Structure 1
Amino acid sequence: MKTKEYTNGEITILWKPDLCTHSGICVKTLPKVYNPQERPWIKMENATSQEMIDQVAKCPSGALSIKKEEI
Structure 2
Amino acid sequence: MSQKEYSNGDITILWKPEKCTHSGVCVRTLPQVYNPKERPWIKIENATSEELVAQVAKCPSGALSIKK
Give the alignment's TM-score, normalised by structure 1.
0.94
> 5 Å matches for 1:25-36?
25-36=25-36
**What is aligned with 2:67?**
67
**SS of match in other structure, 2:41:** coil
Residues 18-41 of structure 1 deviation map (CA, whole Å, 9 limit, x = unaligned): 000000000000000000000000
**SS of match in other structure, 1:54:** helix
- Higher helix residue share: 2
- Unpaired runs of 5+ residues, structure 1, are none
Larger Cα Rg: Structure 1 or Structure 2?
1
- Unpaired runs of 5+ residues, structure 2, are none
**What is aligned with 2:55?**
55
Question: What's the Cα RMSD here?
Answer: 0.6
**Deviation at 1:42?**
0.4
After the TM superposition, list the runs of 4 or more consecutive aligned residues in structure 1 that deviate by more than 6 angstroms.
none
Residues 41-70 of structure 1 deviation map (CA, whole Å, 9 limit, x = unaligned): 0001110000000000000000000014xx
How many residue pairs match? The answer is: 68
**Deviation at 1:3?**
0.5
